[in-house]
């Protein structure tokens, strides 16, 4: 990503909420359990959409904060990093616990882009230090995103209760789980831009709220934080 692109996206974080309109493209936030191991329970968090829709950005601004929280703290592997571009799946045979690192993404699981052909994830304005130390990820002026020409933003069928959607994060924590809040933006199957604010969608220790209930929920409190490194 060049400097010009970074400047453009940094300047649009504050305007994301006004760039699109609420749309039926976004159906809600859902999660699934990917692994249960010594480092905790690994949850994958998805933005649910219909076939043909896509997600381009997960953001926080002055009107809608971005927060990924855990009741007890997140597991982070010292060989990984805060985004899916930092997760080298070639290392899994040498460091198996790396596969269950906590990170954010749009669509792609790992640096190789799986299950897509590439991982073109970018981020602007986010301080990752607290998150990488095991604490919550919070910002009111930052985003992780892909450009609209990248396949990894497209909703794919994840099966089960998830259905069509886009992966936005993988986190390993306790069974108590935590919450996600943020501004989501993408395009529907007609190419029209949509945006949706989410507040306090629970994963793990609580039910995933229906889309109509998202605006009624406050951000859950954090009972404690702890640093966890491999």
Residue 8 lies in a domain: yes
**Full-model pTM:** 0.83
Helix (H) or strand (E) run with residue 6 in it? helix 3-12
Instruction: List the end-to-end C-alpha distance of the chain, in Å, as a whole number.
Output: 30
Residue 149 lies in a domain: yes
Residue 19 lies in a domain: yes
Quick one: pLDDT band at residue 19, thresholds 50, 70, 90?
very low
Residue 97 lies in a domain: yes
Which pLDDT score is estimated for 204? 86
Question: Which two three-digit tokens encode residue 40?
Answer: 């905790």
Mean pLDDT calculated for residue range 221-225 = 29
**What CA–CA distances, in Å, run from 110 to 77, 85, 198, 214?**
14, 6, 25, 29
Which pLDDT score is estimated for 25? 83
Residue 228 lies in a domain: no
Domain with 69 in it: 3-216
Which pLDDT score is estimated for 208? 43
Asked whether residue 212 carries a pLDDT value surpassing 70, the answer given is no
Residue 35 lies in a domain: yes
DSSP string, 171-217: EEE-TTEEEEEEEEEEE-TTS-EEEEEEEEEEEESSPPPPGGGGGGP
Residue 76 lies in a domain: yes
Neighbours of 210 (CB within 10 A): 9
Residue 121 lies in a domain: yes
pLDDT tens digit sequence for 67-110: 999 999 999 999 999 999 999 999 999 999 999 999 999 999 99
Which pLDDT score is estimated for 226? 33
Distance CA 170, CA 223 (A): 21
Distance CA 87, CA 208 (A): 27
User: How many domains does the chain fold into?
Assistant: 1
Mean pLDDT calculated for residue range 155-159 = 96
- Count the residues in the chain: 230
pLDDT tens digit sequence for 118-142: 999 999 999 999 999 999 999 999 9
């Amino acid at each position: 990503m060049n400097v010009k692109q970074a400047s453009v996206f940094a300047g649009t974080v504050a305007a994301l909420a006004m760039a699109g309109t609420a749309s039926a493209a976004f159906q809600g936030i859902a999660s699934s359990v990917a692994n249960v191991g010594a480092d905790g329970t690994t949850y994958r968090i998805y933005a649910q959409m219909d076939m043909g829709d896509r997600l381009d950005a997960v953001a926080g601004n002055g009107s809608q904060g971005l927060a990924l929280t855990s009741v007890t703290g997140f597991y982070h592997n010292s060989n990984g990093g805060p985004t899916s571009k930092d997760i080298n799946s070639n290392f899994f045979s040498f460091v198996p616990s790396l596969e269950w690192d906590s990170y954010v993404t749009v669509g792609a699981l790992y640096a190789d882009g799986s299950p897509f052909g590439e991982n073109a994830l970018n981020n602007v304005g986010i301080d990752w230090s607290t998150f990488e130390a095991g604490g919550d990820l919070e910002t009111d002026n930052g985003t992780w995103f892909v450009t609209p020409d990248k396949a990894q933003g497209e909703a794919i069928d994840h099966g089960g209760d998830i259905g069509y959607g886009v992966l936005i994060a993988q986190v390993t924590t306790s069974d108590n789980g935590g919450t996600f809040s943020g501004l989501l933006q993408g395009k529907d199957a007609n190419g029209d831009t949509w945006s949706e604010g989410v507040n306090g969608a629970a994963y793990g220790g609580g039910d995933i709220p229906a889309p109509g209930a998202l605006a009624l929920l406050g951000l859950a409190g954090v009972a404690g934080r702890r640093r966890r490194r491999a």
